[in-house]
Amino acid sequence: MLQLNFIRENKETTLAGLRKRHFANAEAVVEQVLTIDQQRRDTQRDLDDVLAQSNAKANQIGALMKAGDKAAADAAKTETAALKARSKDLADTLRQLETDLQTVLVTIPNLPHSSVPEGRSADDNEVVLEHGEKPTLPESAQPHWELIKKYDIIDFELGVKISGAGFPVYKGKGARIQRAMINFFLDEALKAGFTEIQPPIVVNEDSGFGTGQLPDKEGQMYYVTEDKLYLIPTAEVPITNIYRDVILPESQLPVKNVGYTPCFRREAGSWGAHVRGLNRLHQFDKVEIVRIEKPENSYTALEEMSLHVQSLLQKLELPYRVLRLCGGDMGFTSALTYDMEVWSAAQQRWLEVSSVSNFETYQANRLKLRSKIDRGDGPGKMQLLHTLNGSALALPRILASILENNQTPEGIRIPKVLVPYCGFEVID
């Protein structure tokens, strides 16, 4: 959530950022925030004044009673009662204005970093780099949804029987390569200095609000009505919420956590050839990295996270590219996002497998995640921290690309780095 004082003091900067995002009615929404804020401040000032008068009258009553001036004391009591009634009305108005202000603030997305390119859609994203050679497959090459049938490693029909569409059943070598990738991704994160976390996979509403899934994405989340809990769309949510309402000592920064979880997304309205097979699922496995940083270090951390994800793709021998998302294609809470896409040789298209984002103070403001940071000019000043997260990696499309890019007449070759984890070199 944007900080109110920033909007108040940087109106034009806020409007420019929202326009870059193509946020509808930016001027009207910002003006609404500033109007309610002014009403709130005026009401707070009036309330403080009335409370001061009430306290003064209360002190006056005691003095009058001690002096034996009952008539004046009774008059003062009458005035005090009126002031108390007025203060109650003002307090009620203030609470409503604060609620109204919060309701509008949570609808405003994060402001984009200066490096975010202009653009409205994915077509306008900037290609930062491309790595690796795209494999050339024979004409007989098949997409992964045919290969999984051929080698009997994933069963979508069985998943439909048990749960519904988008919940595949991994079998035999399919299950083993899933486990291999999870362990490989976790081990690589541990080598890079991350601490492993195994969080819950259901969260409450406060957690969804803290990382920005609520009230923006409730339509894409599975909801357990009776218990008022949400199945997580990513491990970012529970891991980041570990630090909700926390003041982190400066000595504990940076925080670097990694966690594996199943993830759940309703993906309402998704259909067509581009979501066939493993391209889009309702349940999938993912390893997530989360960092909490001092503001001045967060963009260096973002580049480090991008390089970490790229190193995984290089070790998996997958051709990939890195995109810097444009203003119109960024997530609601992000200030800057890099997407990593791998080349699917059989489908002849790029598949997104990771998003690495810096949220700056947007999530931290919701989470009330702060630290006293010593700047060398006296006692440390309390300030919001920066949060970052990234997929490292999401498994389904990685597996799809491994299957498609490595198919041979003898079977599907397993990347060398995964062989020690899965115990076989070929799916045949």
Q: Answer yes or no: do 146 and 86 share one domain.
A: no
Which phi and psi angles does 110 have, rounded to 5°?
A: -65, 155
Cα(208)–Cα(214) distance, rounded to whole angstroms? 5
Cα(403)–Cα(427) distance, rounded to whole angstroms? 9
Q: What is the CATH number of the domain that holds 27?
A: 1.10.287.40
Q: Answer yes or no: do 203 and 128 share one domain.
A: yes
117 occurs within a structural domain: no
Which pLDDT score, from 0 to 100, does residue 63 have?
Answer: 77
287 occurs within a structural domain: yes
113 occurs within a structural domain: no
**Residue from 369, 382, 426, 378 nearest 402 by CA:** 426
Total domain count, the chain: 2
Structure tokens that stand for 421 in this block? 């984890």
110 occurs within a structural domain: no
Which pLDDT score, from 0 to 100, does residue 155 have?
Answer: 97
Q: Which residue has the tokens 């209360």?
A: 58
Q: Answer yes or no: do 289 and 388 share one domain.
A: yes
170 occurs within a structural domain: yes
Residues annotated within a binding site for L-serine: 234, 265, 288, 389
- What end-to-end distance do the CA atoms of the chain give, in Å? 51
Q: Answer yes or no: do 71 and 173 share one domain.
A: no
Q: Answer yes or no: do 261 and 352 share one domain.
A: yes
Q: Answer yes or no: do 262 and 354 share one domain.
A: yes
**Structural domain range at position 127:** 122-427
Which phi and psi angles does 342 have, rounded to 5°?
A: -105, 155
Q: Answer yes or no: do 89 and 138 share one domain.
A: no
114 occurs within a structural domain: no
Task: Give the end of a domain, one of 38, 71, 105.
Answer: 105
Q: Answer yes or no: do 230 and 152 share one domain.
A: yes
**Which letter, b or e, does each residue of 228-241 get, where b requires 16 or more Cβ atoms within 10 Å of its Cβ?**
ebbbbbbbbbbbbb
Which pLDDT score, from 0 to 100, does residue 273 have?
Answer: 54
Mean pLDDT by groups of 10 residues along the chain of 428 residues: 97 98 96 98 96 86 75 81 92 97 97 97 97 92 96 97 96 98 98 98 98 89 96 98 97 97 81 76 97 98 98 98 98 97 96 98 98 81 96 97 96 98 97
115 occurs within a structural domain: no
Q: Answer yes or no: do 231 and 357 share one domain.
A: yes
Structure tokens that stand for 169 in this block? 């059943």
116 occurs within a structural domain: no
Q: Answer yes or no: do 50 and 186 share one domain.
A: no
Q: Answer yes or no: do 29 and 154 share one domain.
A: no
Residues annotated within a binding site for ATP: 265-267, 352-355
Which pLDDT score, from 0 to 100, does residue 272 have?
Answer: 53
Q: Answer yes or no: do 134 and 86 share one domain.
A: no
Cα(226)–Cα(203) distance, rounded to whole angstroms? 13
